[in-house]
Amino acid sequence: KNVSDAFFRDELQTLAANGQIDAFRGKFLDMHPYDQTAFFMELPEDIRLHIYTYLSPEEMAAIMEHIELDDIKPLVTEMDPRFAAMVIAEMATDDAVDILNELRKDVVVSLLTIMDDKNADEIKELLHYEEKTAGSIMTTEFVEIYQATTVSDAMQYLKAEAPEAETIYYLYVVDADKHLVGVLSLRDLIIADSDVKIADLMSDKVLSVSVAEDQEDVARMIRDYDFLALPVVDFQNHLLGIITVDDILDVMDEEASDDYSKLAGVSDVERPKDS
């Protein structure tokens, strides 16, 4: 039974409409968030409004991450603002920023006011970056570690950080002033002896991009070097964020359609945003 089955969809919708929350949650959350999204996007508004009250902000955030940016605005607007703020706070910061960039300024301000300070501050930082730069697509959920740390302490630390991190495959090494000084992969870490220091394990030839770098150049670099992620630094080489390969796929889509529009002679004004 899955979302492509019309009977299953009807059954789920009936459970939602009748307020059979536990039964609904059981069947709904059993699906992959991508399928949850496919079901959700077919629903009429009154049922969507029910569902916002059945799901936790975290569960709703997982769905939001699969919704096209163009479709998100009405959803955020119809949600209770407190719930919307919590959902956005649960999302990866780069996705949260993409959504906020679609909303009216006053809506953004009120959502950020409701949100807890830690999440609001991270998002506010990212909102400042110029469109189509590395800064505008990076996320701040990365794992950073100090050179003096041992492998076993690094493993403990990674375990604690993993639930929030966008990727745990690379650990970026920073000095006391948060300058980026090295990198190692999870593979490097788990095959090393537990009392080895990170300084002796890391590679100090770490490639990074500047926050101001064009997203197209970042895409090219990730592709050429076959990395799963790249660190983003400011002009003093402070580590600010990472860009992961899934963000790069979105960039490539966007740039391909930009190029297509140019070829087809469609002006920027006529072209719908982000299509």
Positions that interact with ligand ATP (CB under 6 A):
170, 183-185, 187-188, 203, 205-207, 226-228, 230-231
Q: Which residues of 188-220 are buried (b: 16+ CB within 10 A; e: fewer)?
A: bbeebeeeebbeebbeeebebbbbebbbeebbe
Name the residue nearer to ligand ATP (CB basis): 24 or 142: 142
Name the residue nearer to ligand ATP (CB basis): 86 or 219: 219
Report in angstroms how near the CB of residue 34 gets to ligand ATP at its nearest: 25
Report in angstroms how near the CB of residue 224 gets to ligand ATP at its nearest: 12
Token digits of residue 150:
């041992």
Report in angstroms how near the CB of residue 229 gets to ligand ATP at its nearest: 7
Name the residue nearer to ligand ATP (CB basis): 69 or 245: 245
Asked if residues 233 and 239 have their Cβ atoms less than 8 Å apart, the reply is yes
The residue whose two tokens read 């639930």 is 163
Report the first-to-last Cα separation within the chain, whole angstroms. 32
Q: Which of 108, 112, 47, 53 minimizes the C-alpha distance to 83?
A: 53
Report in angstroms how near the CB of residue 159 gets to ligand ATP at its nearest: 19
User: Rounded to an integer, what is the distance from CA 118 to the centroid of its chain?
Assistant: 16
Q: Which residues are registered as beta bridge partners of 145?
A: 173
Report in angstroms how near the CB of residue 60 gets to ligand ATP at its nearest: 32
> Which residues, other chains included, contact 251 with Cβ-Cβ below 8 Å and sequence gap of 6+?
137, 215, 216, 218, 219
Name the residue nearer to ligand ATP (CB basis): 86 or 180: 180
Name the residue nearer to ligand ATP (CB basis): 13 or 244: 244
Name the residue nearer to ligand ATP (CB basis): 31 or 155: 155
Report in angstroms how near the CB of residue 182 gets to ligand ATP at its nearest: 8
Token digits of residue 128:
């400042």
How many CA within 13 A on the CB side of residue 118? 4
